Amino acid sequence: MRLFAFLYCLVVAVFSTHLKPQKSKAESIAAGEEIYQDFCIQCHLSNGEGVSGVFPPIKASDYLFENINRSIAGIKYGLKGEITVNDEIYDGVMANQGLEEEEIADVMNYILNQWGNQSEEFITPQQVATVPKSILQK
Amino acid sequence: MLVKILQKKQMYLSMKQISLLIAFTLIIQLGCAQENLPMIETPTETNYSYEVVVDGLEIPWGMAFISTEELLVTEKSGTLYRVKEGQKTIINGLPEIYTRGQGGLLDVALHPNFSENKIIYITLGANMEKDNKGGNTALYCATLNGTELSDVKLLYKATPNSKKGQHFGSRIVFDQEGHVYFGVGDRGNRDENPQDLARDGGKVYRLNLDGSIPEDNPFVNEVGAKKAVFSYGHRNPQGMVVHPKTGQVWENEHGPQGGDEINIIKKGVNYGWPKITYGINYSGTPITDKTSAPNMEQPFYYWVPSIAPSGMAFSTSGVYKEWKDNLFVGSLKFEYLERLVIQNNKVVKREKVLDKIGRVRNVVEGPDGYLYLGVEGKGIVKIVPTS
C-alpha cells in the first residue's frame, strides 16, 4: 500500500509537470511584449534599433539570428565584453535582469518576431533551462 | 464677377489659414523637440583628466568614503566591497537581496557618527516575506567591523512586492537634525503608487536614525497614510545630496522620455508624477497634457531630452577652481558627467565633463575634495586637475 501511494504520487508529480499548460507561440509572443516593455525598452528602444555604438540593435540583428542560444545566455546570465552586431562593435554591459526561464523564452519569441524580424524557431522554457553559461565564453 | 471675386477671396483666406495652421504646427513640433535651456556645452579645452582608482566593477551603484584611503562600493548584482588603495575585499553578512530588473543592491551611506559607532545604511531590493510575488525596496542598517556586518536591522520595507523590473530608487542621505532620507521609485505602477499616501513607491521617506518615525513627519496624523513619507509624486529617485549651504535635500529622478527632474525636497510636498510631467511615454504617446497644476511642485530643473541622471554631488572643496559650488550629475544615457552652474536659483550653464567615459551611475565628492564617479564596466574614476 505504501509502495502504491508512493508510485501514485510519483506519477501525479511527473504528469503535473508535463501537463502544465504550454503557451502557444502567439501567447508567448504576447507575454514577451510585456517583458520587453518592462526590462528591455530603455536601452533597445521601442523600435528595437538600440543606439548605434552603445546599445546594439535587435531589429534585423545578425548577432541575434546567428546566435540564438548565446542570446538566451546573454539574457539569462548577463552579457559583458565585445560583440559585433551588424558590423558594428559593442563593448558594454547588459546586466542579468533576473528573469525566470519562461519569461526569457517569451521575450526571445517576441524579439524574434517583432519589427519585421521573423523566425521559425519557438523558444521554450525547457530550452532556456538547458543553455549553460559556458556558451558565452566561446 | 462679384461671385468670382468672393470665391477667390474665400479661397485666399482659406489658403492663408492653412499656411498659418502649418506654421503653428511646425512651431509646436519644434518646440517639443527642443532642448530645455540652457543647451549642453562641450568644452573644447579642458584642464583635467581622470584616473581609474578602483577597477573591475560592473554597476557600481553606491559609494561611501570611510577616509581618504578607504571606501565602500556596492555592486548592483549583490556585492558590497571595502576598498583600500584600489584593493577590493568582499564584505560578508548582507541580508538576502532581490535582484531583478533595476533592483538589486543599491546605495550605501555612513551614519553621521560612523567614526564612533561603525553603523552603515544600505538600500536594496528585498523579498523577506518569501511570498514569490517579486520584491520592493528596503532600507537596512548594520554595524561594520572590518569586512563583517553584524546587528543587521531592517528599518523600512516598501510594500507590496512586485515582479515589475522598474523603479526601485534609491539613494540615502542625512540632514543635520538626525534624520535619514531615502527614495523609493514608483515600482512601475504609476497609476496607483506615487499619488497615494497610503501606498509605498514614488516617495521620499524620512526616518530617525534608529528607524523610528519622526513625530513631525508631514503625514503622521493622516489616517491610512504611510507615516514615513516626507514627499510624494516622484517617479524614480536616482540621485540625492544635501546642499552644502542650505542643508536642503536635493534629488534627481528619472522621468519618462523627456521628463528627468531635479527637485529640492520639501516637507509634505507633491512633486506631481504622473499628473504633471514634461515627459512622454517611451512609445511616444502622451502621459498627460499638463506640465503644471495647483498644489503640485515644479521641478527645480528638467531635462529635455532625458539624460537618465544618476548620482548627484556639489563640488565644495575648491580642488577644481572654476567648479566651486557647481552641481554634478551622472548621465547614464549620454555617458558623461554633467556640470550645472546655478545662479539665483536657476541653472544658467550645463557642460559635459569626461564625455563618452561610459554610463555614469554615481558621483560623490570624496573627503579629499576630489570628485569620484561610478562608471559602469569601468569602476571608480577620480577627476584630476592638470593645471
pLDDT the model gives residue A138: 66
Cα atoms in the Cβ-side hemisphere of radius 13 Å centred on A116:
8
B123 falls within a domain:
yes
pLDDT the model gives residue B34: 73
pLDDT the model gives residue A97: 93
Instruction: Tell whether A45 lies on the interface with B, counting CB pairs under 8 A.
Output: yes
Taking an 8 Å cut-off on Cβ atoms, the answer to whether A42 and B101 are in contact is: no
B72 falls within a domain:
no
Please, which pLDDT band fits residue A10 given cuts at 50, 70 and 90? low
Instruction: Tell whether A98 lies on the interface with B, counting CB pairs under 8 A.
Output: yes
Which parts of B52-167 fold into alpha helices (H)? 114-117
Q: Choose the mutation target among A35, A36, A39 for the interface with B, i.e. most B CBs under 10 Å.
A: A39
pLDDT the model gives residue B298: 98
User: Is the pLDDT score of B9 beyond 70?
Assistant: no
B80 falls within a domain:
no
3-class secondary-structure state, position B52: strand
Taking an 8 Å cut-off on Cβ atoms, the answer to whether A96 and B76 are in contact is: no
Report the residue from A41, A78, A98 with minimal CB separation from B100: A98
pLDDT the model gives residue B30: 44
A89 falls within a domain:
yes
Instruction: Tell whether A96 lies on the interface with B, counting CB pairs under 8 A.
Output: yes
A135 falls within a domain:
no
Q: How many domains, in total, are found in chain B?
A: 2
B149-B153-B155 Cα angle (round to 5):
135
Same domain, B343 and B205: no
Which residues of chain B are within 8 Å of residue A33 when distances are taken between CB atoms?
none
Q: Going edge to edge, which strands form the sheet with B179-184?
A: B172-174, B179-184, B203-208, B229-232
Please, which pLDDT band fits residue A13 given cuts at 50, 70 and 90? low
B178 falls within a domain:
yes
User: Is the pLDDT score of B4 beyond 90?
Assistant: no
Same domain, B219 and B342: no
Taking an 8 Å cut-off on Cβ atoms, the answer to whether A46 and B282 are in contact is: yes
Average pLDDT over residues B151-168: 97
The reply to whether B243 belongs to the active site is no
Between CA B337 and CA B357 the distance in angstroms is 8
Please, which pLDDT band fits residue B301 given cuts at 50, 70 and 90? very high
A6 falls within a domain:
no
Q: Note the ipTM here.
A: 0.75
Please, which pLDDT band fits residue B2 given cuts at 50, 70 and 90? very low
Same domain, B126 and B269: yes
Please, which pLDDT band fits residue B269 given cuts at 50, 70 and 90? very high
pLDDT tens-digit series, residues B217-260: 999 999 999 999 999 999 999 999 999 999 999 999 999 999 99
pLDDT the model gives residue B3: 46
How close A34 gets to chain B, by Cα (Å)? 10
B3 falls within a domain:
no
Between CA B263 and CA B183 the distance in angstroms is 12
Quick count: other Cβ atoms within 10 Å of Cβ B264?
Answer: 16
Q: Going edge to edge, which strands form the sheet with B260-265?
A: B237-242, B249-253, B260-265, B301-303
- Domain holding A104, by residue range, is 24-129
A49 falls within a domain:
yes
Please, which pLDDT band fits residue A42 given cuts at 50, 70 and 90? confident
How close A27 gets to chain B, by Cα (Å)? 19
* C-alpha cell at position A52: 548605434
pLDDT the model gives residue B283: 80
A138 falls within a domain:
no
Taking an 8 Å cut-off on Cβ atoms, the answer to whether B58 and A96 are in contact is: no
Taking an 8 Å cut-off on Cβ atoms, the answer to whether A98 and B76 are in contact is: no
pLDDT tens-digit series, residues B50-77: 999 999 999 999 999 999 999 999 999 9
Which residue of chain A is at minimal alpha-carbon distance from B164? Answer: A38
Same domain, B227 and B370: no
pLDDT the model gives residue B47: 95
Instruction: Tell whether A60 lies on the interface with B, counting CB pairs under 8 A.
Output: no
pLDDT the model gives residue B26: 46
Instruction: Tell whether A115 lies on the interface with B, counting CB pairs under 8 A.
Output: no
Taking an 8 Å cut-off on Cβ atoms, the answer to whether A38 and B376 are in contact is: no
Which residues of chain B are within 8 Å of residue A98 when distances are taken between CB atoms?
98-101, 103, 165
Which of B291, B307, B323 is where one domain is finished?
Answer: B307
Same domain, B249 and B268: yes
CATH number at residue A30: 1.10.760.10
Please, which pLDDT band fits residue B309 given cuts at 50, 70 and 90? very high
Which of B260, B292, B307 is where one domain is finished?
Answer: B307
Please, which pLDDT band fits residue B6 given cuts at 50, 70 and 90? very low
Query: Of the ranges B15-29, B305-319, B333-347, which one carries the lowest mean pLDDT score?
Result: B15-29
Please provide the average confidence, as pLDDT, over all residues in chain B. 93
pLDDT tens-digit series, residues A43-94: 899 999 999 988 999 999 999 999 999 999 999 999 988 999 999 999 888 9
Q: What percent of chain B has pLDDT over 70?
A: 91
Quick count: other Cβ atoms within 10 Å of Cβ B330?
Answer: 31
- Domain holding B327, by residue range, is 51-56+308-387
Same domain, B104 and B147: yes
Same domain, B132 and B209: yes
Q: Choose the mutation target among B61, B280, B283, B375 for the interface with A, i.e. most A CBs under 10 Å.
A: B283
Average pLDDT over residues B193-202: 98
Same domain, B294 and B319: no
For residue B155, give the amino acid letter.
L
Same domain, B169 and B219: yes
Same domain, B121 and B148: yes
B311: left (phi over 0), alpha (psi -120 to 50) or beta: left
Which of B282, B307, B332 is where one domain is finished?
Answer: B307
Please, which pLDDT band fits residue B15 given cuts at 50, 70 and 90? low
Average pLDDT over residues B148-162: 98
A37-A42-A45 Cα angle (round to 5):
80
Report the residue from A78, A93, A97 with minimal CB separation from B376: A93
Cis amide prior to B256 (ω within 30 degrees): no
Same domain, B163 and B225: yes
pTM of the model: 0.87
* C-alpha cell at position B128: 523577506
CATH number at residue B360: 2.40.10
pLDDT the model gives residue A93: 85
For residue B111, give the amino acid letter.
H
Which residues of chain B are within 8 Å of residue A38 when distances are taken between CB atoms?
101, 164-166, 188
pLDDT the model gives residue A21: 66
Report the residue from B100, B188, B284 with minimal CB separation from A97: B100
Taking an 8 Å cut-off on Cβ atoms, the answer to whether B101 and A80 are in contact is: no
Which residue of chain B is at minimal alpha-carbon distance from A75? Answer: B101
Please, which pLDDT band fits residue A11 given cuts at 50, 70 and 90? low
Which residue of chain A is at minimal alpha-carbon distance from B76? Answer: A95
Same domain, B263 and B282: yes
Selection from B364, B302, B280, B293 nearest residue B329 by Cα:
B364
User: Is the pLDDT score of A16 beyond 90?
Assistant: no
Q: What 8-state DSSP symbol labels residue B86?
A: T
Report the residue from B164, B282, B377 with minimal CB separation from A93: B377
Selection from B267, B196, B270, B268 nearest residue B233 by Cα:
B270
In this structure, are residues B261 and B301 in contact, taking their beta carbons and an 8 Å threshold? yes
Report the residue from B59, B101, B376 with minimal CB separation from A97: B101
User: Is the pLDDT score of B1 beyond 50?
Assistant: no
User: Is the pLDDT score of B13 beyond 70?
Assistant: no
